[in-house]
Amino acid sequence: MSDGERVVPPASAPAHGGRVPTDPPVVEATGIVKRFGPTVALNGAGITIRPGETHALVGRNGAGKSTLVSVLTGLQAPDEGTVVYRGSPAPRLTDRDAWRRRVACVYQKSTIIPTLTVAENLFLNRHDHGRGRLISWQGVRRRAGELLSTWSVEVSPQTLAGDLSVEQRQFVEIARALSFGARFIILDEPTAQLDGAAINRLFDRIRDLQRQGVTFLFISHHLQEVYEICDMVTVFRDARHILTAPVADLPRTELVAAMTGEAAGDRQQERASTLDSTAPAALRVKAISGDTYSDVTFQVGAGEIVGLAGATGSGRTEIAETVIGLRAPGTGDVEIAGTRPRRGSVPAALAAGAGFVPQDRHHQGFVPDMSIADNVTLSVPGRLGRNGLLSRSRRDRIAEGMIENLEIKTPGPDQPVSALSGGNQQKVVMARALADDPRLLVLINPTAGVDVRSKEFLLGKVEETAGAGTGVLIASDELDDLRMCDRVLVMFQGRVTTEITRGWHDHDLVAAMEGVDLNA
């Protein structure tokens, strides 16, 4: 599906059973362009949201959703384009009170201060004052009680915010936004940390507030929620607006196709399998459960590449971190190349034969002020000398071999990693993971933040490593990272829900990751 196909302007598609809206849009963003250096985060994008509707904004990672939210809430000024609220231009960025009267965002990460009470959070810096300009706490609690009662939030004003559940904190944040006068609320991944019962209660509250004239922009990775709660849906892809349509009129196959840019049936080129079925498994995971995942069982054969896919909050990253020892499972077992390493121990997992590329190279992958040589050999001190004495020549010999193997662009092994480009920094992290010839290679978002050429090189190195008999586990939601996989295990809400073998196409994989039943 190309840009411009199946575009239905929101104004022509009434929400709520065909009621034709006559009021001006709550917000209308047109021709929004936003650049961050050479990166174009929004490219002529826009959205129109009508009063009283719940409007979904969906798209893959990097589509521009978060940047649009920052523009709609006045945190960023667009480089080009206009934002209009109820027929009037958006306020100046410095006029925060004016923005609060128009729009509020309830983020996935709560902005409630846990050490303050509910009342103090609701009226922070807006306290009632009595005689002598002293705060009237009785007045603050009374106003908080009235506000919570008005919007049917069943929480005591005197409760410490840190004692609230995730669901209760969200309701308090919505009530706080409404107290400023805003009747347009952006919900950013509101169900990511909620169980099924809490999600149902949230949706009931959204419907109640809609009936009271509140408008919502609903951002979610879970497309089945879009069909359950939303009236309209807008799709962004590659920083552009692709489609806006009534949810009831949009087949799920078309929604997924708009997100991926690929129609059903477009197949990816298959990779020749290097699985050695006669060799012991590189990884066995048996019935492990933790805070964010439950009863997960799978294995990775020698020479096999297995992907763990899923949206944010699905549990894919936590599973990979459990395998490598960054987390300890509550129950179940992890076996690496025939050995059960100590739970929650990265050194034990490495000693069992694992190599690891973490999710965030800057905070977990390397020590920036140390040299390439020291970073590459951090995990193999036993190869550098005996009795605690390290040989610089051995270190440099290993490092020079890895620099050549990974084609790291550097004048020499003593250069600090901080002086390298992002792609070369990631190659250093990969080099360290491969330095001890692992039996299992665990990768989390291995190509995040690198240029196209570095991405192709790194993924080619992964294929080469698997071809030599190493089992590979890739946890990622980036489709390019998963294309080489022999199998992809799709996780949804903490469980493996689907297994997709080689020959998959974007359309089906994304649908499974988003929890969408295309046959529904």
What confidence tens digit (pLDDT) does each residue in 48-62 have? 999 999 999 998 767
**Crossing angle, helix 506-513 and helix 252-260, to 10 degrees?**
110
Helix 392-406, helix 422-434: angle, nearest 10: 120
Show the tokens assigned to 378.
């951090």
Phi and psi at 73, nearest 5°, equal -100, 5
449 with 470: CB under 8 angstroms? no
Enclosing H/E stretch for 173: helix 166-179
- Position 131 scores a pLDDT of 54
Lowest mean pLDDT among 24-28, 147-151, 191-195, 402-406: 191-195
Query: Is 15's pLDDT higher than 60?
Result: no
- Which residues, 6 or more positions from 520, have their beta carbon under 8 angstroms from its beta carbon? 252
Q: How far apart are CA 287 and CA 317, in angstroms?
A: 17
For residue range 71-82, list pLDDT tens digits in order: 999 999 999 999
> According to CATH, what is the number of the domain 283-513?
3.40.50.300
- What is the DSSP-derived secondary structure letter of residue 385? -
CB-CB contact of 489 with 306 (8 Å):
yes
Asked, colleague to colleague, whether 10-112+183-260 and 283-513 share their fold, the answer is yes
Report the alpha-carbon distance of residue 499 to residue 308 in Å, rounded: 10
- Phi and psi angles of residue 314, each rounded to the nearest 5 degrees, phi first: -75, -25
pLDDT given for residue 18 in this prediction: 41
Segment (H or E) for 201? helix 196-211
Count other C-beta atoms under 10 Å from residue 92's C-beta. 11
What's the pLDDT band for 267 if we cut at 50, 70, 90?
very low
Task: Kindly state the DSSP code that residue 36 receives in the 8-state scheme.
Answer: E
Please state the domain extents for the chain. 10-112+183-260, 113-163, 283-513
Lowest mean pLDDT among 17-21, 31-35, 150-154, 269-273: 17-21
Comparing 196-205, 352-361, 448-457, which segment has the lowest mean pLDDT?
A: 448-457
* Res. 1: pLDDT tops 50: no
Mean pLDDT within 270-292: 81
Q: How far apart are CA 426 and CA 432, in angstroms?
A: 10
Confidence at residue 133, expressed as pLDDT on a 0 to 100 scale = 65
State the helix-helix crossing angle for 422-434 and 452-467, rounded to 10 degrees: 10
Calpha distance 57→68 (Å, rounded): 10
Residue type, 53: E
Q: Does domain 10-112+183-260 sit in CATH 3.40.50.300?
A: yes
**0.85 exceeded by pTM:** no
pLDDT at position 5 over 60: no
Query: What pLDDT was estimated at residue 469?
Result: 93
Place of tokens 């009785």: 138
- Mean pLDDT over residues 295-321, rounded? 93
Please state the φ and ψ torsions of residue 284, each to the nearest 5 degrees.
Answer: -125, 125
d(CA 432, CA 191): 37
Q: No. of H helices and E strands in the chain?
A: 16, 19
Q: Rounded to an integer, what distance in angstroms lies between the CA atom of residue 323 and that of residue 279?
A: 20
Mean pLDDT of the chain: 83
Q: At residue 236, does pLDDT exceed 90?
A: yes
Q: Which residues have C-beta within 8 Å of that of residue 19, sequence separation ≥ 6?
A: none
